[in-house]
Chain A
């Protein structure tokens, strides 16, 4: 588990260094994801350790969002002032994105046959 966690952190570190050095507006962990994906392709799959640790982390992923979400206590004024904008923009944009992605993919799947 510690070995796998080190692998994940090293990927994140290299990703962060590359993003900063190149001045790319991409978060370091996202580049770390690409690096690990490349590593997995090269090594033809994750080691049992990396597999288990990643699954463990991803299974508890919900917990990891909680501290940021609690930051809502400092944003209550924003939520109150812009309630209408938030209450419209979030549902409408979500339905549009679901419909556009699903509709296009369905169309491709049908054209395939």
Chain B
């Protein structure tokens, strides 16, 4: 009865019911995106995270595949975010000596930046009419994704939305951090790194690492510290602002 088209359809339905489709699609698209990123010499527009998300989202929409079906495989990749967050302790440990020497300035500058990021994002989004769940999802947008999604979930935000906000923040911050530092005459490499890691996490840090090792080290430190500081402060800020 069923011709070749019918068989293909059955295989497609079968694949979608298991984890293979989501897992393999994620890995294949990611490898294609990182290949493109290397080919373009890490151009700002070829961010592999952004490209992978766009390609997979279009693939799901074009084939009428539900996110649930995709996530049956995607969850295995996402699960590794937990151990990856814990692993951030290793680069933090490597920068411990530098951190101890500048502890007070780091904590003050980073704390101020962390509060500025959360409060300004939530207040602006609220003022422009965004509903509560979108506003809450903004709270951790400057924090590295795994920590940000955990914070957002605990606050009653939408982790998927937070992941997008974090990504937009990183792409924007990575593009504009150096021009902004020039404009504001922020020339100290430690200050640049701390600002990049606090304001726009890994993507700005990766950009700064290309110009200075010191900036990169301070960026790595700021990513972990800002995750901790925001995890502690965001619930208080949300309550204080009344969202």
- Indicate, yes or no, whether A interacts with B: yes
**Known contacts A29-B146, A62-B48, A98-B200: does B90 contact A105 (CB below 8 Å)?**
no
Q: Quick one: CB contact mask for B111-123 with A, threshold 8 Å, 1 for yes? A: 0111011101110
A68 touching B149, Cβ below 8 Å = yes
B83 at the interface (CB under 8 A from A): yes
B44 at the interface (CB under 8 A from A): no
A106 touching B186, Cβ below 8 Å = yes
Taking CB atoms, residues of chain B closer than 8 Å to A78 are: 134, 158, 161
How far is A100 from B109 in the complex, measured between Cα atoms in Å? Answer: 7
A97 touching B199, Cβ below 8 Å = yes
B145 touching A68, Cβ below 8 Å = yes
B231 at the interface (CB under 8 A from A): yes
B74 touching A70, Cβ below 8 Å = yes
A22 at the interface (CB under 8 A from B): no
Chain A residue nearest in CB terms to B52: A66
Among A33, A57, A66, A99, which residue has the most Cβ atoms of chain B within 10 A?
A66
Taking CB atoms, residues of chain A closer than 8 Å to B142 are: 93-94, 97
B147 touching A27, Cβ below 8 Å = yes
Chain A residue nearest in CB terms to B27: A63
Which residue in B90, B158, B167, B196 is a CB contact (below 8 Å) of A69?
A: B167
Among B29, B71, B231, which residue has the most Cβ atoms of chain A within 10 A?
B231
- Using a CB–CB cutoff of 8 Å, the interface residues on chain A facing chain B are 5, 8-9, 11-12, 15, 25-30, 32-37, 40-41, 45-46, 50-51, 53-55, 57-58, 61-75, 78-79, 82, 84-86, 88-106, 108-110, 112
- Using a CB–CB cutoff of 8 Å, the interface residues on chain B facing chain A are 22, 26-27, 29-30, 48-49, 52-53, 56-57, 60-61, 67, 70-71, 74-75, 77-78, 80-93, 96, 102, 105-106, 108-110, 112-114, 116-118, 120-122, 124-125, 128-131, 134, 138, 141-142, 145-147, 149-151, 153-155, 158-161, 163-169, 172-173, 176-177, 180-181, 184-188, 190-192, 194-196, 198-200, 202, 204, 222, 224, 227-228, 231-232, 235
